[in-house]
Structure 1
Amino acid sequence: MCILRNKEKLSMLSPDLIQRRPYSTLLVVFACWKLILGLIAFTTPSPAYDTSTSLLLLQSNHDNASTFGVRFLKTICGSLTRWDAIFFAKIAEPGRGYWNEQEWAFGWGYTRVIAATRRVLCSFLPLDQLAHPYPEIISAVLLSNACHIASVFVLYKLAFLFSKSPQRAHVLAWVTSVLHILSPAGLFLSAPYSESLFSLLSFTGAYLYALSMKAVGSQQHMRGNSLTLCSAIVFAAASTVRSNGLLNGILFLFDFVPALLSFDLVRVVVLGVGGVLVGAGVALPQYIAWGEYCISTPPLRPWCTKLVPSIYTYVQDVYWNVGLFRYWTLSNLPLFVLAAPTLLILFASGNWVLRQSKRNTDIVFRLAISQLILAGMAIFSYHVQVITRLSSGSAVWYWWVAVKFIGEGDTMMRSSRSTEYRTLGWILRWMVMYGLIQGVLFAAFLPPA
């Protein structure tokens, strides 16, 4: 991390080494950071603020597995199972699914992936010897960490496409990926939470769409259309994991209108199908819930009779009090202050990209639009503190910090003012310090979540 403190120290890591071994060097940084966070989770005292995890794991106290390795594993699982993770672990248990209506606020796609991961792991590991929900927690933790490192690698490829300077592309992409490792989401990217999987799917979908744009621009229409559909499928999967994955549909919208105006029917159909697929990722869990709650004898649940019967919207409204301006209370002011650094970075990076881009055909321009919308939604509708972990799935701000920090070699994207470097230094310090402090709070089951 010391190599990221200023531009001069970047030379401590050879650009040639980065170019030759980008993934192995990223893996080393990843392992070191995860080790630090893991030690924090393991050594933080048992929680006193909330006993939900203890109650969840109480059913496992009578199993016969008592070796040191198993006890260590259980301690880590207990430290990482906080807030939403409790619901994810329970929902993923075999034969359980979504028992209660309020549980439908938690990503359907993510719980299905946890369940699938558990089945795969149990085929060659004796996880079934542990009582529930330990197999689900272990599967989710392994899944989160695997998805995090995979998303780091994909972001490296995506940021490489962002670059306008071949001379700096490898270093710029590498620094961008390191920033994702040090994301302020911290332990949320290691715990049974959906952020890691969502980041991987979002970055992969964006990378495939960037390749499709490049192919179409080179008149390779069949390849471009195929990549567009592949991107849509990945984005659809992301939408089943988190509903804000629907914002990825903006990429398709930017191309759909010009294709429609130019009467490019093939491209219109491909983009239209792609957009529908992205939306289907959100609609599929709603349809499943509708079949469970709304095709039955009266009385039906209130949301069943809505024009658009969405259990997710209803649950967020009734059970979690999510809605326009609902979080704007004096008691929540500290949470807005906590989220302020993340929001400022999201808005600053998004606005910078919009000002610098000469045309809206750039992939980074479109991703900046979705990032700005997400930040705006966090301020006006969400529980605002969640933006700190939701931002982990936005590629633009990582790239912006990297560009501003090391420059990209052309006048449009060079940053040389000392005051700006000092600001960037504070951003890096904030990311690291927030990740460490948040790790203690998370493991101790202390707010904010």
Structure 2
Amino acid sequence: MNEKKINSKTCRKTLWYLAIYSRLAVLLFQYICNTIIPDHKAQGVFISPSTEYSDDSIFDRTVAHLLDGFLRWDAQYFLHIYKYGYTYENSLAFFPFYPNLLWILTYIIPGNLNTLFIISGVVVNNILFIVTTIILFDLTLTVHKNIELSLNSSILFCINPAAIFFSAPYSESLYAFTTFYGMYNVYKNNIWKSSILFGISVMTRSNGILNAGFLLYLMIHSAAKRKYKLILKTFFGVLFIFFCFSIYQIYCSYLFCIPREIKYDINVVNYALKHNLFMPNNHTIAEWCGKKLAYTYVQDKYWNVGFLRYFMLKQIPNFILAFPCIFLILNFGINYFYTNRSHIINLGKKKNDFAFIVHAVFLTVFCIFYIHIQVTTRMLASSSPVLYWTCAKYFKFPIYKSKFFLARILSDKKCSLVFFYFVLYFIFGTALFVNFYPFT
């Protein structure tokens, strides 16, 4: 037992260093790629108004020069919400906790808002990523009781295929932190803490609502064991998660369904007129008011999200991009359910990882049929530890300890495929993202 504690402590220390090195690698590599590779002229991309640095101080221009590669794709929406709030209907697709967290952290700090946003976003995300690396180790050790698997899972997390999104000002790092830490606390029966964490996750990303399933799963097994106090706690925990989801939808209705006079920055108004974006005003209300949830309407109207809508020939490259992640999880899930089919009728009562597998497989299938398929990789990488558990099982040795780990990896076909999938996506994903090439 003492030896296990020593090993766990050593593993955590090793993971701290690896997580820090991986974040520094992303920071350096994004700068190099953004400097030497010309930006792609992406069509129809949202760019928050007034994001030019030409009139700013030397410090602002230096920050822009070093970190501007992170302000791509969805980061522009988070920047806009941070600066102006929810002024456009399309911005409602991005949940409020992350941009408002950055706003709170920088509220009293004077300076250029673009600079404050990018610095706070990169710093917060990298700190959360490093902490989440340790949390994943503890979660895996709690569920699987296997220190080697736990270590390898966290090492793979450090170089995961969606690595760039955990450093850029996206909500991935915050979501992974709240989700993995919430899962960990469920297995420790810390219901109130897990409920709060899952509540934050659902105010960070819409798919956080699925985290309520872990509490429902615990509730079902608690009912079988007649643990009434635990049942009551999990019930209120589930209610709290749905309340957190609902409060944002209510806020959206307050903004867009109650006509009132609002003063806007002139640049924001001009951008809306140029791009035909709907803004809250004192004349009209949004089309979805009283009919649909704001989130589902916005996803439908602005991103064409819906059942089988992405099944088009021109999207084949994006399906190929997402295929490795989808294959790894579905292949593992099918084998898992087949091997443990006798446990399914009892909802995996004797399998600690049953709820995780169901959650990961459901999310993967949902991604295939409903969302923009290229988002699958970063969604699964930040939403489920199963991707890392699945891949870690291919490594039959502790990755960081082996002197000739690359030779050992190459000696096994499956192991080498998984390893190079992670590394290549880490490298090319970063290069594509920072230059506005599709990798989202």
- Give the shorter-chain TM-score range: 0.7 to 0.9
User: In the alignment, which residue of structure 1 is the partner of 2:124?
Assistant: 143
Identity of aligned residues (%): 26
Q: 1:30 aligns with which of 15, 19, 25?
A: 19
User: In the alignment, which residue of structure 2 is the partner of 1:224?
Assistant: none
Deviation, structure 1 residue 274: 1.2
The letter for the 2-side match of 1:329 is: M
Do the aligned residues in 2 keep the contact of 1:59 with 1:132 (CA within 8 Å)? no
Task: Provide the TM-score with structure 1 as the length reference.
Answer: 0.81
User: In the alignment, which residue of structure 2 is the partner of 1:185?
Assistant: 162
Does the C-alpha gap of structure 1 residues 299 and 91 become closer, same or farther in structure 2, counting only changes over 3 Å? closer
Note the alpha carbon deviations across 1:46-68, whole angstroms, 9 max, x for none. 414249698756443212x215x
User: In the alignment, which residue of structure 1 is the partner of 2:184?
Assistant: 207
Note the alpha carbon deviations across 1:10-46, whole angstroms, 9 max, x for none. xxxx999853422321122223322332222111234
Greater mean deviation of Cα atoms: 318-327 or 52-61: 52-61
Deviation, structure 1 residue 433: 0.9
Unaligned runs of 5+ residues in structure 2 are: 260-281, 399-408
Matches within 5 A, 1:350-361: 350-356=333-339, 358=343, 360-361=348-349
Do the aligned residues in 1 keep the contact of 2:305 with 2:370 (CA within 8 Å)? yes
User: In the alignment, which residue of structure 1 is the partner of 2:92?
Assistant: 104
Q: CA RMSD in A?
A: 2.7
User: In the alignment, which residue of structure 1 is the partner of 2:54?
Assistant: 61
1:113 paired with 2:130, answer: no
Do the aligned residues in 1 keep the contact of 2:31 with 2:69 (CA within 8 Å)? yes
Note the alpha carbon deviations across 1:62-118, whole angstroms, 9 max, x for none. 12x215xx544222321111000011012112xx21001110001211111121232
Do the aligned residues in 2 keep the contact of 1:350 with 1:397 (CA within 8 Å)? no
The letter for the 1-side match of 2:293 is: S
The letter for the 1-side match of 2:305 is: V
Q: Secondary structure at the match of 1:397?
A: helix
Q: 1:392 aligns with which of 375, 381, 392?
A: 381
- Whole-Å Cα distance in 2 between the matches of residues 116 and 396 of structure 1? 33
Do the aligned residues in 2 keep the contact of 1:40 with 1:439 (CA within 8 Å)? yes
User: In the alignment, which residue of structure 2 is the partner of 1:382?
Assistant: 371
Deviation, structure 1 residue 177: 0.7
User: In the alignment, which residue of structure 2 is the partner of 1:303?
Assistant: 288
User: In the alignment, which residue of structure 2 is the partner of 1:349?
Assistant: 332
Q: 1:237 aligns with which of 200, 224, 238?
A: 200
Unaligned runs of 5+ residues in structure 1 are: 1-13, 123-127, 213-226, 409-417
User: In the alignment, which residue of structure 1 is the partner of 2:393?
Assistant: 403
Deviation, structure 1 residue 257: 3.5
Q: Secondary structure at the match of 1:405?
A: coil
User: In the alignment, which residue of structure 2 is the partner of 1:218?
Assistant: none
Does the C-alpha gap of structure 1 residues 275 and 79 become closer, same or farther in structure 2, counting only changes over 3 Å? same
Does the C-alpha gap of structure 1 residues 363 and 304 become closer, same or farther in structure 2, counting only changes over 3 Å? farther
User: In the alignment, which residue of structure 1 is the partner of 2:213?
Assistant: 250
Task: Provide the TM-score with structure 2 as the length reference.
Answer: 0.83
- Whole-Å Cα distance in 1 between the matches of residues 163 and 116 of structure 2? 23
Does the C-alpha gap of structure 1 residues 31 and 265 become closer, same or farther in structure 2, counting only changes over 3 Å? closer
Note the alpha carbon deviations across 1:194-213, whole angstroms, 9 max, x for none. 1111000000000000111x
Does the C-alpha gap of structure 1 residues 134 and 272 become closer, same or farther in structure 2, counting only changes over 3 Å? same
- Whole-Å Cα distance in 2 between the matches of residues 258 and 428 of structure 1? 37
- Whole-Å Cα distance in 2 between the matches of residues 349 and 205 of structure 1? 23
The letter for the 2-side match of 1:314 is: Y
Deviation, structure 1 residue 157: 0.6
